[in-house]
Amino acid sequence: MQIALWIFLIGLAAMFLWEMRHSMKRSAEAVRLISTYIEDLENPKLIEEIYAYCQSDWKLRRILAKYHGTSDDIRMLYHKLLLWGNFRKYNRFVPITSFFYAYSLEYLLRHKEDDAKELTMKMMNFLHM
């Protein structure tokens, strides 16, 4: 019984460390993109980099596949978010950061036809802005 408990605790700690690593990597990439493109928000490379990151992340890739998300969807949603969320708070910038979390990306792809203000307000609430 004791050995099973230790194995469980070690597995739980390993899973926690893996998720923290994933979270730190995601945050670092979002901050890098914000820092790189904050002065050039219309640069088409930004959309390519956001889409490439979503394709490289195992959680986000599954959401893109589930909702048949394309770079055109990312571009359209980015511009909607840019209309009402064009401000930075600490290391968050709604039009970029919204694509880096599984819940927010899924919401955006599910509601991509919604009003720009409604989408932006939902993302601001999600990001605690």
pLDDT tens track for 47-100:
999 999 999 999 999 999 999 999 999 999 999 999 998 888 888 899 999 999
Mean pLDDT, range 17-44, rounded to an integer:
91
Asked, for residue 112, whether it belongs to a domain, the answer is: yes
| Token pair in block for residue 48 | 């390519």
- Residue 88 inside a domain? The answer is yes
Please state, rounded to an integer, the average pLDDT across all residues of the chain.
Answer: 92
Domain coverage including residue 61: 24-126
Which of 60, 64, 71 minimizes the C-alpha distance to 109? 64
- pTM of the full predicted structure? 0.85
Over 90: is that where the pLDDT of 122 sits?
Answer: yes
> Rounded to a whole number, what is the distance in angstroms from the first to the last CA of the chain?
46
The label of the residue with tokens 């599984």 reads 102
Query: Is the residue at 79 inside a domain?
Result: yes
| pLDDT reading at 1 higher than 80 | no
Handedness of CA 114, 116, 118, 120 (dihedral sign): positive
Angle between helices 44-56 and 71-84 (to 10 degrees): 120
